[in-house]
Amino acid sequence: MTSDTQHRYGTLSRWLHWGMAVFIGWQFLKFFDRINDGEHWVGQALVPWHVSIGTLLLLLVVLRLIWAGVNRGNRPASLSVWARLGHFLLYASMVLLPVTGIMILLGGGYGLAAFGMQLVPRGEPIAWMPTLGGVHSALAWIFVVMSAGHIVMALYHHFVKRDGVLDRVL
């Protein structure tokens, strides 16, 4: 297993990046739940995993942040203040999305179950939680746009600038 260096992300960083990308892509399928009230194969087969995958993503982003902190001096530097800002906003969204989703569940008294395990039992509704959690959907749309921008910029660096930025995580 390779470690992070100034020129390239190591094995664990790359696994976290691409693994989370797959799970985030899965989470984006929740938007299909809006079509025909979820009465199609995506809505019925994949969307029910939304809370479990979101909970897993929260755990992974926390691990990813810890790993980034431990390797702070051994990671490739961002190219600009815009890249740093973009990554900060992506990470903030990756934390806030599952937190606000959990707030909706807990605030509604539903508890939190992931992968068939009841992590937080059902309880009394907490009135203020769904209100704060209400930003979940708007934040999800913003995150879709930011993720698309992240992909576009990575491809721009790879195919137009040819500066090796994408190679650092491939």
What's the CATH code of the domain at 42? Answer: 1.20.950.20
Q: What confidence score (pLDDT) does residue 166 get?
A: 92
Tally of domains within the chain: 1
> Residue 133 pLDDT > 70, yes or no?
yes
The rounded distance, in Å, linking the Cα atoms of 165 and 79 is 9
Helices (H), 10-126: 11-28, 41-45, 50-70, 81-107
pLDDT, tens digit, 9 for 90 and up, residues 76-111 = 877 789 999 999 999 999 999 999 999 999 999 999
**H or E stretch covering 130:** helix 128-133
Percentage, residues of the chain above pLDDT 90: 76
> Residue 21 pLDDT > 90, yes or no?
yes
Has residue 3 been placed in a domain? Answer: no
- Please name the residues in contact with 110: beta carbons below 8 A apart, sequence gap of 6 or more: 122
> Residue 33 pLDDT > 80, yes or no?
no
For the chain, what is the mean pLDDT?
92
Angle CA 133–102–45, to nearest 5: 110
Q: What confidence score (pLDDT) does residue 36 get?
A: 67
Over residues 43-51, the mean pLDDT reads 82
Backbone angles phi, psi at 110, to 5 degrees: -85, -15
Q: What confidence score (pLDDT) does residue 144 get?
A: 95
> Residue 42 pLDDT > 80, yes or no?
no
Q: What confidence score (pLDDT) does residue 122 get?
A: 96
Q: What confidence score (pLDDT) does residue 31 get?
A: 79
SS3 147: helix
The rounded distance, in Å, linking the Cα atoms of 115 and 30 is 17
Has residue 2 been placed in a domain? Answer: no
Going by C-alpha positions, the residue among 109, 143, 123, 122 that lies closest to residue 25 is 143
Q: What confidence score (pLDDT) does residue 46 get?
A: 76
Q: Residue 7 carries which DSSP code? A: S
Q: What confidence score (pLDDT) does residue 117 get?
A: 96
Burial class (CB within 10 angstroms; exposed 0-12, middle 13-18, buried 19+) of 1: exposed
* Per-residue pLDDT band at 64 (split at 50, 70, 90): very high
Q: Determine if the pTM surpasses 0.75.
A: yes
Has residue 90 been placed in a domain? Answer: yes
Backbone angles phi, psi at 114, to 5 degrees: -135, 130
Going by C-alpha positions, the residue among 142, 145, 129, 57 that lies closest to residue 95 is 57
Residue bearing the bigger pLDDT, 62 or 36: 62
Residue bearing the bigger pLDDT, 32 or 10: 10
| Range of the structural domain that residue 116 is part of | 11-168
**H or E stretch covering 156:** helix 136-156
